[in-house]
Amino acid sequence: MSGTRAGVTYDAVGMTKGAAAPEGFRALTVRTRLGGGAYEDAVRVLSGWGMHRGTPGMRVPVGTPAAALGVRVELRWGPVRAPCEVVWTVAEPDRAGFAYGTLPGHPECGEESFVIRRLPDGAAELTVRAYSRPAAWWLRTAGPFGRCGQRAMAHLYGRALRRACGGG
């Protein structure tokens, strides 16, 4: 597993590797079973931003390099601009993925990871983990609705990846 300290808006780079969120950050974990035989396809789709592109309303600029340490991406969801930088990656035989950290201008402050693992029964599973706090004033005022939106996005990511891997 590799990591870096980028120009992100928080100090605890790599925090989504740990079990508990640092003080002041909300924790979110959503798991999606992708199905049997989907591991290699899921890793390819994830690293090429296919999961993000397949999520309703999400846009990833054409020409964005594959997810790798230091790659910057400006995700857009409707009018919302969300600049991020890949801050750690993992590439093991049965576990692969990455995390990105928020850059200035992102409505959240924190880190979100996307890790796919091959389960003992041969199926694949995506785990989305986010440790974050609102950065934009409008997200701070949203309170629990903002958290619900973040959870909904994590579920949409899982559905998009399952669809991209033929799991409907």
Q: For 67-91, what is each residue's pLDDT tens digit?
A: 999 999 999 988 999 999 999 999 9
What's the whole-model pTM score?
0.92
Distance CA 37, CA 122 (A): 6
Which of the four CATH numbers 3.30.530.20, 3.40.50.2300, 1.10.760.10, 1.20.1250.20 does domain 2-6+25-164 have? 3.30.530.20
Break the chain into its structural domains and give their ranges: 2-6+25-164
Average pLDDT (34-48) is: 91
Judge contact between 136 and 51, C-beta under 8 A.
Answer: no
Q: Residues 31, 115, 140, 77: is their CA dihedral positive or negative?
A: negative
* Measured distance CA(42)–CA(114) in Å, rounded: 11
* Per-residue pLDDT tens over the stretch 154-166: 999 999 999 998 7
Contact in structure between 24 and 133 (CB atoms under 8 Å): yes
Provide the phi-psi class of 118: left if phi over 0, else alpha when psi is between -120 and 50, else beta: beta
